[in-house]
Structure 1
């Protein structure tokens, strides 16, 4: 990946995060009864805050994406490809179990139902994204995509889960999933060598 490709990916992912953050924030406010804005300035400030938050989440998503790319590159150089795929699958399952069950049993957190829903949502989105990634590339993309969409998203979401508020978790999770999905789905187009 050259610098121009990385900058393009960076700005487009920022845009995805900003738009999804804005939509998620407005939908959450509508779901919670809405906000009574005192003036047009309040509405503009609310929009700027939502856009900024979406951009911040997208940057966090990009950090996770490049950390995964470095991990994947290193692992492929050290471990056999088939073994690395099994390791990714096991780690993805462990990450899902952690978010769905372990927090309840270990921390005694009283959020089992919301944790289950978060885990199910992440799994469903991961399978859908992996399906489209395989259709766009090849069957070898299935396990790495599942691993990235599950494990990376859960690692990036840990801070949101520690807040302990369902609305905050959703507000972080939806833009994270959107940015992670966008990056993994567009990666093969960015890495494709241009025809001369």
Structure 2
């Protein structure tokens, strides 16, 4: 990946994160209940805050994406390709189990096991959908790496949001992260094709 393609990916992912964050910020229940806008300047300021948060979330997502690319490159050199596929699959399952059950095991107060289960299921559904489109665009070997990236890496990226232990905060962090991660993994092969051509 050359500098031109990377900068294009950076800006586009930044915009994806910012736009999804703005939409999420206005759709979440707390934004309608606890925020009152006195005039247009309040709305514009709120938009600016959401845009900034989405941009920061996208940068965090891109750090996770490039960390995964380095991990994948290193692991392919260390493990046989088939073994690395199995390792990624097992780690994806463990990450999903962690996000669905960990907070109830450690006995956190005010943590809803149903909310954690729904979060894990939602991440899995998005991961499977993204993997389906990735496989259609590339080849069947993309299933496991895409599932791993969309589950395990996304869950690692959102650990800070889970520590807040508030459903709205979790949703506000997870949706832009999933959008940015989905965009990056689905656009990667197109950028690499451009480099080859």
Whether contact under 8 Å (1:133, 1:142) holds in the other structure is yes
> What is the CA–CA distance in structure 1 between the aligned matches of 2:103 and 2:25, rounded to whole Å?
26
Whether contact under 8 Å (2:26, 2:32) holds in the other structure is no
> What is the CA–CA distance in structure 2 between the aligned matches of 1:193 and 1:39, rounded to whole Å?
47
The number of equivalent residue pairs is 196
- Name which of structure 1's ranges 174-183 and 99-108 shifts more when overlaid on structure 2: 99-108
Superposed displacement of residue 134, structure 1: 0.2
> What is the CA–CA distance in structure 2 between the aligned matches of 1:194 and 1:17, rounded to whole Å?
25
Q: CA RMSD in A?
A: 1.5
> What is the CA–CA distance in structure 1 between the aligned matches of 2:57 and 2:3, rounded to whole Å?
22
Whether contact under 8 Å (1:104, 1:112) holds in the other structure is yes
With over 3 angstroms needed to count, the CA separation of the structure-2 counterparts of 1:35 and 1:102, relative to structure 1, is closer
Superposed displacement of residue 29, structure 1: 4.7
Q: Could you tell me which residue of structure 1 aligns to residue 19 of structure 2?
A: 19
Q: Could you tell me which residue of structure 2 aligns to residue 55 of structure 1?
A: 55
Superposed displacement of residue 107, structure 1: 4.0
Q: Could you tell me which residue of structure 2 aligns to residue 172 of structure 1?
A: 173
List 4+ stretches of structure 1 deviating above 6 A: none
Q: Could you tell me which residue of structure 1 aligns to residue 64 of structure 2?
A: 64
With over 3 angstroms needed to count, the CA separation of the structure-2 counterparts of 1:54 and 1:116, relative to structure 1, is same
Gaps of 5+ in 1: none
Superposed displacement of residue 194, structure 1: 4.9
Whether contact under 8 Å (1:131, 1:142) holds in the other structure is yes
Q: State how 1:106-121 maps to structure 2 within 5 Å.
A: 106-109=106-109, 110-121=111-122
> What is the CA–CA distance in structure 2 between the aligned matches of 1:58 and 1:150, rounded to whole Å?
16
Q: Could you tell me which residue of structure 2 aligns to residue 135 of structure 1?
A: 136
Superposed displacement of residue 40, structure 1: 1.2
Deviations 1:117-165 (A, max 9, x none): 1101000000000000000000000000000000010000100000011
Q: Could you tell me which residue of structure 1 aligns to residue 155 of structure 2?
A: 154
Superposed displacement of residue 195, structure 1: 6.5
TM-score (normalizing by structure 1): 0.95
Whether contact under 8 Å (1:88, 1:144) holds in the other structure is yes
Whether contact under 8 Å (1:57, 1:172) holds in the other structure is yes
